[in-house]
Amino acid sequence: MPYHRAIVGAPHLQLGFRHLPLAAQVNFLFHDLLSRRLGETCLRGYHNSRRRWRSGRRLLGGGAEPKGGSPVSKQYDVVVIGGGPGGYVAAIRATQLGKRAAVVERDALGGVCLNWGCIPSKALLKSAEVYSLFRRSSEFGLSTQGLAFDFPAIIRRSRNVASRLNKGVEYLMKKNRIDVVQGTGRLNGRTVQVVDAEGKAADELLASDVILATGARPRSLPGLTIDRQRLMTSYEALALDTPPGSLIIMGGGPIGVEFAYFYSSFGTQVTVVEMLDYLLPQSDVEVAVVLEKSLARAGVTILTSTRVESAQASSSGVEVQLSTPGGPQTLQAELALVAVGVMPNVENLGLAEAGVRLDAKGFIATDEHCRTSVPHIYAIGDVSGPPLLAHAASAEGMAVAEVIAGQDSRVNYDTIASCAYCQPQVASIGLTERQAREQGHEVKVGRFPLRASGKALASGDSEGLVKIVADAKYGEILGAHIVGPDATELIAELGLAMTNELAVPDLARTVHSHPTLAEAIKEAAEDALGRAIHI
């Protein structure tokens, strides 16, 4: 049959024909080009248009799959399972390097960090900071009357901030022409099978390389049942209708201390229970002590070296049994927050069938390039274990995309800072003083208290210090620790210095603007060199 008649009788060829350039259509119709090559060109036009339509439907959330359609394999260079801060960054970097990428996400782009973690919690903490500052208005020569807070409005603002940024990530996917497939991804050889919320097969994606970025979720303690009403996780703590009268927080890490600051700012009687010797046990003990004293002055009860043995929820509240250095103790509160770490999302990924190994703690085992035991499968972010930080996941996503593109990229975990955004803020990078000494370094420490900072005093926020841990012989910066206002911003200068192997004298020689909080870094460096000026 002549091809022009075949086109008339074949809807899929008609669609392909319409997507040919006008000149090609004219050439076809008026010169009787009946070659198989042009017919195949029309067919390719059809498949290309269908692929664009399907991609647009997923990205824009509109339209429906043609009736009778079944999942059709689509070819990608990189398929990322998980659209959090590691996953979506990996996909964008891969497209920048010329790769065709897709992201499979079962919930909302941005992951826990953007939607139920880092971002909404920081919005809540800002409300607490502003409210606390207004309560101190007399210190600044101001008076306020009828000061009050609207807690539902505080929560709404937090959710709105997260929603806005989620839409921003959606835009980035469109801008970079990354297909976003809604559903749960599962490994199956060289393909990723996608299942929708109802458990039905939705898509099948052929992938040259796969990046697992499925994140983690809050874990509980042995014997504790989290009912998400009386015994809750950080997810529920982000969206309560009203501040509870009393709250027990199990865990004194960043999540625990941030919620302690937030709820105590709005009148909740908060008790923090930490199993180790001090809050933020991965930070330097000096900065932890400053934080503990500050929270205690704000009315927070802190129980360190204390273990949670059990907890029972009832209609009236929560009862928690503890083992303390002084013996057994029982606490009662309206609510309890379990913030004792996370467990990786490794279920239903087909890892065992694919040959992907886990480590002793259940995280996906990876090498220095984030490659798993299967050469074409990578794992980044919380699903592959510590440091369990969003910015570390993003760094890993960038590195893995570059490895897939043939580059020798890897992440330097020694220069990744960890932060707590309570007041005062805490930020740490590198080794603590104790760790440096335990590793055999001859240590020199430089300190600068913020009470000697002109900018801190003028701002009415002079609690805290900058501490630099250095090698005594070579001046190498081994670690840095800051507690005080804007600590989470100031730590970046130390990260830059350590990444580029600058030494303490380089910090001391750098002229800092005056008056600034950043001057405290220069002053601490001067102190480490034995030539402090302002202390």
What is the per-residue pLDDT across 317-370, written as a single tens digit (0 to 9) for each?
999 999 999 999 999 999 999 999 999 999 999 999 999 999 999 999 999 999
Give the per-residue pLDDT at 198. Answer: 86
What confidence tier does 128 reach under pLDDT thresholds 50, 70, 90?
A: very high
19, pLDDT greater than 60:
no
Where in the sequence numbering do the catalytic residues fall? 514
Average pLDDT, the chain: 90
Tell me the mean pLDDT in the region 44-51.
42
H or E, element range at 151? helix 151-175
Give the per-residue pLDDT at 89. Answer: 99
Quickly count helices (H) and strands (E) in the chain: 18, 22
Residue 515 preceded by cis peptide, ω within 30: yes
What confidence tier does 71 reach under pLDDT thresholds 50, 70, 90?
A: low
Q: How many CB atoms lie within 10 A of CB 150?
A: 10
- 405-437 per-position pLDDT tens digit: 999 999 999 999 999 999 999 999 999 999 999
Contact 108, 85 (CB under 8 A): no
Q: 451-474 b/e with 16+ CB inside 10 Å = b?
A: ebbebbeeeebbbbbbbbbbbeee
Tell me the mean pLDDT in the region 210-224.
96
7, pLDDT greater than 60:
no
Give the per-residue pLDDT at 197. Answer: 85
Contact 459, 140 (CB under 8 A): no
Strands 179-182, 184-188: pairing is unpaired
pTM of the model: 0.86
Q: What are the DSSP calls for 390-445, one per residue?
A: HHHHHHHHHHHHHHHTT------GGG--EEE-SSSEEEEEE--HHHHHHTT--EEE
Give the per-residue pLDDT at 233. Answer: 98
Domains in the chain: ranges and CATH: 3-60 (no CATH), 74-217+344-414 (3.50.50.60), 231-340 (3.50.50.60), 424-528 (3.30.390.30)
DSSP character at residue 362: S
CA dihedral 423, 122, 421, 117 (to 10 degrees): 140
